[in-house]
Chain A
Amino acid sequence: MVKIFKATINGKEVNAKKGETIIQLCKRQGIEIPHLCHDDKLHPIGACRLCVVEVEGARSLLSSCTTPIMPGMKVKTHTPKILEARRINLELLLANHDLNCTICVRNLDCKLQTYSKDMMVNKIRYEGDKRISIVDETSSSIRRDNNKCILCEKCIRVCNEQQTVYAIGLQNRGFNTKVMPPQGKNMSTSNCINCGQCVIACPTGALSEISEIQPVIDALNSGKILVAQTAPSIRATLGECFGMPAGTPVTGKMVSALKQIGFDYVFDTDLGADLTIIEEATEFVKRFKANKNLPMITTCCPAWVKFGEQFFFEELGHMSSCRSPQAMLSSLVKTYFAKKIKKKPEDIILVDIMPCTAKKYEIKRPEFTGEADYVLTTVEIAKLLKQLNVDFVNLHNTDFDHPLGESTGAGAIFGRTGGVMEAAIRTAADFISGKDLKEIEYKQVQGMDHVKEATLKLAGKEIKIGVVHTLGEARKIMEDIKAGTSPYHFIEIMACYGGCIGGGGQPRPHDDITLMKRAKALNKEDKSKKIRKSHKNPTALKLYKDYLGVPGGKKAHKLLHTYYTKKKHF
């Protein structure tokens, strides 16, 4: 039972819960206190001081994100004194900021801009020295511009607390404080695994994705064959970029839009997902029967793969050798499809539309061959569509192209945490039991819990499955495996909170309500499909018959599997 007591906010008596901070209580009361460094999922630090409030009896203004509400506390959140304090605060941040908003990637989508406008900051009285930094564009995925950093430490807390990657941290002291990788490293040589969660967290333009929009425009002008493939979660989030409510499925419009701007073929990564399931389930059944290299871990998430290669290389035998869905499909585009349309692979430009900044890194992995040429994230493709005057909201629906456009419901749910596992089990269960099982929804691995697990009974055996998201949880799982205490047989790991629907390339915000709506859209798509098991996908079956051979076979291995190498970490 949570203790409830009375407190006063802006003169009104309200019920407060023990353990809440002032900002949390105010949010429940519908009072939005401006904040820059506060985030519900991160440990509060009280650094930005924008959320200060007046508490009767206190000597100074207190940060509402760190101060717990106490019985009888009297709080004021929006007095003229507080407004003046917030304005000076913003002035100081602006005085040490790159103010070229017009050419900033977050123009009109920046908290600093919004607050300055809302609080009528109309002059900067305190100008002088500025912290000047070189923009770090060495990474394939993340761009770091410290000239726009307001030292809210959200990226650091996400990277260290939530993801436990420790790529970046604070260095120096006072005015010269900077957020950076350890000295001598830049974003590309640091521990960064490219998940882009820092980009999502950043309130300004300090962190953004490495843009590939221009190369894609050039490609569209090049006269070559343009192929696009769209990841499972894009169809649940792209609409938000055009003002549609969160979780509006926009599959058909998405294909139309891509066709409109000049893509010759639009394929579905969900087909790649189906192939992944067929390969992975085959791999799992093999291991399970031999009781070797268990638990097996999914590998469609490139951020997680790099994480594993860096921190848990000795345990990498547990990883599935399957490539990710986009990598499998890319491989087929540049071989099978190229042959089919009688073109050389060099004459085909393949653009992946992905939810994820890590995919930009994935396509450049030396361990892959025959890969996609560019990756555009959800927000990037939205920008491109807008530039090319696509009236997205009013588009009609178009189907994916053949031969690589047919997918099942299992492929659709890849985009959410638990989706890969659910899809895999639908196939693995049939393989192990030898039956066509009717029960295909596994509710235990749905939802936003950090760790989800279930025990399945198949053909007289027990299979324990586990699903985690965020790399902090992944680390715990791997520590268990290292210690030999892991109870699971099959584990799904997603680096991003919520899975790909919460990826580093997805539009903001990423609060639980938005993520759940997006997950619902994917579940809806799954339910709308006639075929909901990957191994029943006619196109997939035809691919194996005509080209790939047997699942897990030699050719399948060459085109659809990969290997891992040890990567340094610091």
Chain B
Amino acid sequence: MEGCSQNGSSCNKANVVVELQKIQEKHGYLPRAELVKVSRRLKIPAVHIYGVATFYSQFKLEQPAKYIISVCEGTACHVRGSVELLNEIKKQADIVPSETSEDGLFTLEIVRCLGLCASAPVMTVNGKIYSKVKKEEVKDILAEYKKSKKVKA
């Protein structure tokens, strides 16, 4: 196993962040078995792999639900009612941020600024963007997914 110091600049090998991004793209999250594999393949200690996996917001260590609802809590969205929006989603889908709903359909997460500030408040479901979302629209948006039909992005 090659020594790889956290502080020094001796790690000139494959990039852990990039590798984890590839795994997450394939599986939707970072399964433990894959992390063990990548550690052995890159000869990088598991503490470093986990150190990176738990540092960045993008990486999920638990399998998310079928639909990931992301609500933007950036400044512009915040002053334009993202809190109201978030509360409505919490109510309609019966979840809290970072958790999955009981029916296993939705995972709710808060993101910081998607860069669509002029269309605030913004939410996405599996990447599909909903902008200038009004509280009243939440029920219908979620209903589309509750029917479990895949909506075209």
- By a beta-carbon cutoff of 8 Å, the part of chain A in contact with chain B is 43, 45, 156-157, 160-161, 164, 166-173, 181-185, 191, 311, 472, 475, 569-570
Contacts and interface: CB of A to CB of B under 8 A. Distances in A.
B52 to A, nearest CB: 10
A491 to B, nearest CB: 19
A472 B51 contact: no
B6 A156 contact: yes
Interface residues of B, number: 19
Interface string B133-153: 000000000000000000000
Given A43-B5, A167-B47, 7 more contacts: A160-B47, A166-B1, A169-B45, A171-B55, A173-B55, A569-B1, A570-B45
Contact of A157 (B3, B7, B51): B7
A181 B7 contact: no
A191 B48 CA distance: 13
A475 B45 CA distance: 14
Nearest to A166: B45
Contacts of A156: 6
B61 interface: yes
A183 B55 CA distance: 13
User: Which one of A161, A173, A183, A475 has the greatest number of beta carbons of chain B within 10 Å?
Assistant: A183
B95 interface: no
A560 B55 CA distance: 48
Contacts of B45: 160, 166, 169, 191, 570
B21 interface: no
Contacts of A169: 6, 45, 47-48, 50-51
B22 interface: no
B49 interface: yes
A161 B5 contact: yes
A168 B3 contact: no
A236 B35 CA distance: 46
Contacts of A185: 46
B39 interface: yes
B48 A171 contact: no
Contacts of A181: 47
Nearest to A570: B46
B3 A170 contact: no
Contact of B55 (A160, A172, A184, A569): A172
Given A169-B50, A182-B50, A43 B3 contact: no
A164 B45 CA distance: 10
A489 B1 CA distance: 24
Contacts of B49: 182
B11 to A, nearest CB: 12
13 contacts: A43-B7, A43-B8, A157-B7, A160-B47, A161-B7, A166-B1, A166-B48, A169-B6, A170-B51, A171-B50, A172-B55, A191-B45, A570-B46
B91 interface: no
Contacts of B47: 160, 166-169, 181-182, 570
A155 to B, nearest CB: 12
A173 B55 CA distance: 5
A172 B54 contact: yes
B36 interface: yes
A570 B3 contact: no
A183 B51 CA distance: 9
A414 to B, nearest CB: 28
Nearest to B61: A183
Interface in B1-58: 1, 3, 5-8, 32, 36, 39, 45-51, 54-55
Contacts of A570: 36, 39, 45-47
Q: 9 tightest CB-CB pairs across the interface, nearest first?
A: A169-B47, A166-B45, A570-B46, A182-B46, A171-B54, A182-B50, A169-B51, A43-B7, A172-B54
